[in-house]
A = this chain, B = another copy of it.
Amino acid sequence: MTAQRRVVAEVLDGEHVHLTADEVHARAVAKLPEISRATVYNTLGELVSLGEVLEVTTDKRAKRYDPNAHRPHHHLVCAGCGAIRDVHPTGNPLADLPDSERFGFTVSDVEVTYRGLCPNCSAT
């Protein structure tokens, strides 16, 4: 556990937000100015492998990192401003995929992304 890794972990801790890798880097630099982008990418990659952090790719742009990895949830994304909220739908989408629709795949995970407009953006 090096200073760099601690800083990256700290950035993701607490804040219940969805940061891009660059945002993580920017905040990490604020605490430890000489940290490099490569290290942030490495550390984020490790946190993802460890299951401590989730990668979320809601749009074509940058991946986002979600520290809320321990309670399963899905995402609601604003098509206008890109805001992201965690949501907890009822039901189990995995159960909604019949065997006949699995094509022999071993299905291990499902990701649900709701899209719409946030109150701000819909008040055009």
Q: Is the interface of A mostly helix, strand, loop or mixed?
A: mixed
Q: How far is the CB of A83 from chain B (nearest CB, A)?
A: 9
Contacting pair B90 A118 (CB below 8 A): no
A107 touches which of B57, B88, B103, B114 (Cβ 8 Å)? B114
CB distance B87 to A101 under 8 Å? yes
The distance from the CB of A111 to the nearest CB of chain B, in whole angstroms, is 5
A117: which B residues are within 8 A, CB to CB?
Answer: 105-106, 108
Q: CA A79 – CA B96 in complex, angstroms?
A: 20
Report the minimal beta-carbon distance from A41 to chain B, rounded to whole angstroms.
12
CA distance A97 to B15 in the complex (A): 24
Per-residue B-contact encoding for A13-36, CB less than 8 Å = 1, 0 else: 000000000000000000000000
Given A63-B60, A111-B112, check contact A104 B119 (CB 8 Å). Answer: yes
Which residue of chain B has its CB nearest to the CB of A117? B106
